[in-house]
Amino acid sequence: MGKPIGIWVALLCFLGCTGQQEQLVWVEDFEDAQPRADRWNFELGNGCPNLCGWGNNELQIYTDHNHTIKDGFLTITAKKEDSLYTSTRITTKDKFKFQYGRVEVRAKLPVGAGVWPAFWLLGSNIDEVGWPLCGEIDVVEYVGREPDMVFNSLHTQSSHGNTINTKKTRIDDIEEGSHVYEANWTPEKIEFSVDGNLLYTYAPEVKTQKTWPFDQPFYMIVNLAIGGNFGGPEIDDAIFPQEFLIDYIKVYQVGDKH
């Protein structure tokens, strides 16, 4: 004989109504005319003199005008202007950082040989300890020279910054329409997903500063690079201009239920 309905309801409520749940702690819907100055920084130029080519032999010069915001979308436009490639890179450094949680971005990728869009996180102690000891979480990277491929990667001191802890996943027609790219970051592991489908998990058995610098706050970066070590040496100038569209960015963290 089954339990009375009231007992089942009480049991389900106990299981589902106690403990902790995800809470939306930060959201960027790009509803303002420009990226909000209290949230975002523009990183300008070619990285020189300290980090020429942005550390990857990238060819673009970042400006504060290769972007628009319209209808709730941030559009970063990569251009070929005379002999120069231009684009935009924004970060939340010193304005927003977080430790652990689920971060997701809904975006539409550019296409063509030479483009390298990315949404990624850097350890907020980078100025003190440098890269890669600060750690890096690449929520999504895409390179136009490899259509239909999505990259999820971690950079740590144990890998000497090389792309060792990584997964390349084929997703047919990933360039069509917008998709949700996600990293779920806990004290034990980091899981990467696209449209809710788990692609890659990083969970080293031994966690030290060299293998797991992910026990500290990180800030976010959105950019569209051109060429470079990962984007590739061959660039199809006929593809420009190319657009990287970002619909929203959301950060969820676990908190006590009220």
Distance of CA 137 to the CA centre of its chain: 7
Give the C-alpha separation, 98 to 139, whole Å: 15
Q: Which of 28, 58, 136, 243 is catalytic?
A: 136
Active site residue 43: no
Residues 6+ apart with CB under 8 A from 7: none
Q: Which structure tokens are listed for 86?
A: 């231009």
State the Cα angle at 41 between 38 and 46, rounded to 5°: 175
Give the C-alpha separation, 107 to 84, whole Å: 26
| Closest of 88, 41, 54 to residue 246, by C-alpha | 88
Q: Which of 141, 175, 176, 243 is catalytic?
A: 141
Active site residue 188: no
Give catalytic residues, as residue numbers.
Answer: 136, 141
